[in-house]
């Protein structure tokens, strides 16, 4: 699933002429701590609640603070797992989505990504996830399956996505094994590029915990 498919129509986009107090109110109304800022259709950056609350005057326009806006974002054709990784690494509640011309298309909610990730990876079942990157011509399901099976494991789900900008294929593999370090090592030994992987520790401590928290939140 691509990031553009998860853009939330209910999350607003801020503009440089918006006041700080308006931005804080929008964040409070939407239950997020970040929002994207737009300037005539172009992505400017991301504002966060903590930074805005430190402003000496909440009636100033966001344009006066734009030099401090981080530029976190993903392309509309990126896999949603890339957006999720960016959100986890930087503790972001939303991820801006842009097009090839840096036009701001909207934002993806971290909560929605967690929900999709749990569905995508069938998080309630134990296992691991490995994301490989390769040239399209080097993709071989039979070889990937063979390397997994040599480690007494099986592929329970496999998805591919080709980045239109780089032409590189990303192969996302769900494994029915909770300890996947040996499988990762095997891929690396055969000169596969392992972009990232999620083993049992992340499932238990990050994805499962956040999934449960999300489900509890949605029940309120």
The pLDDT of residue 8 is above 70: yes
pLDDT 10s digits, 137-166:
999 999 999 999 999 999 988 888 888 778
The pLDDT of residue 213 is above 50: yes
Q: Where in the chain is the domain with CATH 3.10.580.10?
A: 3-115
Predicted local confidence at residue 206, as pLDDT? 46
Average the pLDDT over each of 118-122, 131-135, 160-164 and give the range with the smallest value: 118-122
Q: Where in the chain is the domain with CATH 3.30.70.260?
A: 124-219
Class of domain 124-219: alpha beta
Q: What is the model's pTM?
A: 0.58
pLDDT 10s digits, 182-200:
999 999 999 999 988 877 5
State mean pLDDT over 131-141. Answer: 93
Q: What is the mean pLDDT of the chain?
A: 85
Class of domain 3-115: alpha beta
Please indicate whether residue 205 or residue 172 has the higher confidence score (pLDDT). Answer: 172
Instruction: Give DSSP secondary structure letters for the chain.
Output: -BGGGG--TTS--EETTSBHHHHHHHHHHHT-SEEEEEETTEEEEEEEHHHHHT-S-TTSBGGGGGGG-----EETTSBHHHHHHHHHHHT-SEEEEE-TT-BEEEEEEHHHHHHHHHHHHTTTS--EEEEEEEEGGG--HHHHHHHHHTTT--EEEEEEEE-TTT-EEEEEEEES-S--HHHHHHHHHTT-EEEEEE-HHHIIIIIHHHHHHHHHHHH-
pLDDT 10s digits, 63-93:
999 888 898 999 998 888 888 888 888 999 9
């Amino acid at each position: 699933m691509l990031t553009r498919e998860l853009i939330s129509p209910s999350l607003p986009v801020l503009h440089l002429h918006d006041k700080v107090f308006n931005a804080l109110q929008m964040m409070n109304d939407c239950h997020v701590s970040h929002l994207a800022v737009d300037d005539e259709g172009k992505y400017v950056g991301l504002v966060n609640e903590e930074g805005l609350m430190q402003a000496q005057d909440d009636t100033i326009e966001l344009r006066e603070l734009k030099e401090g806006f981080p530029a976190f974002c993903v392309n509309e054709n990126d896999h949603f797992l890339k957006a999720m990784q960016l959100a986890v690494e930087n503790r972001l509640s939303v991820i801006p989505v842009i097009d090839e011309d840096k036009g701001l298309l909207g934002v993806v909610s971290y909560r929605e990504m967690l929900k999709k990730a749990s569905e995508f990876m069938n998080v309630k079942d134990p296992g691991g996830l490995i994301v490989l990157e390769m040239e399209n011509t080097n993709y071989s399901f039979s070889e990937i399956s063979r390397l997994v099976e040599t480690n007494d494991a099986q592929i329970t789900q496999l998805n591919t996505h080709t980045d239109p900008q780089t032409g590189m294929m990303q192969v996302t593999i769900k494994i029915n094994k909770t300890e996947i370090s040996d499988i990762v090592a095997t891929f690396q030994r055969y000169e596969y590029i392992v972009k990232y992987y999620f083993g049992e520790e992340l499932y238990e401590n990050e994805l499962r915990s956040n999934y449960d928290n999300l489900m509890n939140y949605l029940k309120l």
